[in-house]
Structure 1
Amino acid sequence: MTTTTTTAHAAATVDTPPSSAESTRLAVEYWTVTMDGQSSCGSCDATRTVIDSAIEAVRPLAARLGIHLDVLPRTVATWAEAIDHGIVASPTIRAAGHELRPAHPDTSESRVWRWRGQQTVSLPEDAALDLLLRALAARSTQIGEYLEHGGPSAYVRRFLSEQPAPQLAADTSCGAAAGCS
């Protein structure tokens, strides 16, 4: 006797693209280097305050585009981590392929920020705004092109929900032969 198992999936609207009320994310990575066991320092804290202020200024524009801004604090503590993530200065701010970081001119903790031909010892808020606006435009373009090309296939849309699905364990696979439910 052959037994066939089927899994019922909830019906979903197949051809409906995301509404403007749904929000996609623009991740703003805030990288620091662990120094003397600390994940931050006074200069990094001041820079983070500038970034947070710039994010609050840009947030209404992002919301109008259906994009949610998230700051993701990241740290590196080893040479290998610095190499893996391409970190050459602390702090380093990255978003949608754009990067902003100071230069460290010597072995001291001094930092030199360069933006539009100017050099400063602290991050100018206009430089942070510029980075975020360029990243927001890049992310909006990416989303627009994705949707212009149809987004997920009609088949895949059947299984998508508004909330992110829980992530499977690293050794779990779900294929045609697997008993995923």
Structure 2
Amino acid sequence: MTNTPTDEAPRWLDEEERRAWLGLVGIMRRLEHALDAQLREEGLTHFEYGVMAALSESPQRALRMSVLALYAEGSLSRLSQVVARLERKGYAHRRPDPDDGRYTLATLTDEGYERIVSAAPGHVAEVRRLVFDPLTKAQVKQLAHIGQRVLHAIDPGGVGPRAMHAVDPGDSDRD
């Protein structure tokens, strides 16, 4: 239940929570831009990379646009614009779903697959440099648990495809 003016007083953040919150906000705002800058050197945006990566890991390198939007964690309209851009680059194409013509499939082309395979090493190196290299193994494990708990609070039903790979947010902190 959320606080409203007639409910109890707000639970203000203490100093430790405030520092943690500001750190998280800084990460959310800056990490996407840093990853985007690295991928622009490869001729891609971070969002395009995410779309292409999801397609590259799917059977026949194809997904319904509605499912792809969940993987990409973006709106259908944003996804449609990005897939149109990928089509112009020759990296993807769309067609009606042969199983149900009401849906549209996005498919990664062979050229798109080669592009994502080519861009992946630099992207992974940048992710490692920015996120994992500054952390100890124990902190990486903590980050995984923290991320899953926060994601569960945001999306308790776990409707996104990433939920398939989620750690149980009820896991203890023993690790």
Q: Name the TM-score, length of structure 2 as normaliser.
A: 0.29
The structure whose residues are more often helix, as a share, is 2
| Larger CA Rg, structure 1 vs 2 | 1
Q: Name the TM-score, length of structure 1 as normaliser.
A: 0.28
